[in-house]
Amino acid sequence: MRILVGAALFLASIVAGHAQTPPLGDQATALLGSWEFSNANRDRRCTAIFTNAPVAGGYKVEFDPNCVNLFPFIQNIAGWRFPDSDNLFLFDAGGKTLAEFSEVEAGMFEAPTPGVGVLFLQNAAAAAPPPKRPEEVAGDWAIAGNAVLCEFSLNAAAAPGGGMRLTVKPGCRDDIAKLNFTRWRIEGGELQLLPAQGTTPWRFVESDSDNWRRIPETSEPVNLVRR
């Protein structure tokens, strides 16, 4: 008799535990799989895998081992839930929400998170390539239109006033030389050359690893070309 009662209580506890797990709706089902978990600048990125393994209050989410080094609060995440027509929640073992993501466009979610900053989730298959690191861009470059207009070196070392060091080589065309570029930076996926005076940088977007196109376009198309 005691064995039967014990078995009944055990089964009841399983049913009760599963009752706390919300059903997977269409939105939640679409989330299953690998996602890029990052900060706004994407200089801290790792992988989150959303599974359909039940946990109390939702489902299990797994992070790659480096995630907790980048975002320490991840060690407290016990699961996820995504009710239809609601936001995506990451919660701890007590059910407390640690991050709440809203969908900002198809395949992308964001979560302003106190003490952490704005976090992003992007479908791993659709995520754009990460921004270039300064050391990947550093080296000798030329500003070129119909001909080479100016040559310079980009250094990954920090420059006074922010950004990194830029050294112009002799022979720049006069209108570019007078801008006196002394610094550069990568911001929002753009490579920007910063003049010594004024606040308006020359902005370039990557065409390939050795060629960046100036934006907005001017009457004379201008590119940065690796030498």
Q: Per the domain annotation, does 70 fall within a domain?
A: yes
* pLDDT tens digits for range 149-180: 999 999 999 988 888 999 999 999 999 999 99
102, β-bridge pairs: 110
* pLDDT tens digits for range 197-226: 766 899 998 888 899 999 988 888 899 999
Q: Tell whether 14 and 97 lie within a shared domain.
A: yes
Q: Tell whether 40 and 140 lie within a shared domain.
A: no
The residue out of 62, 92, 123 marking a domain boundary is 123
Q: Per the domain annotation, does 129 fall within a domain?
A: no
* pLDDT tens digits for range 43-58: 888 999 999 999 999 9
Q: Per the domain annotation, does 173 fall within a domain?
A: yes
Q: Per the domain annotation, does 128 fall within a domain?
A: no
* pLDDT tens digits for range 58-112: 999 999 999 999 999 999 999 999 998 899 999 999 999 999 999 998 889 999 9
- Domain containing 182 equals 134-226
Q: Per the domain annotation, does 61 fall within a domain?
A: yes
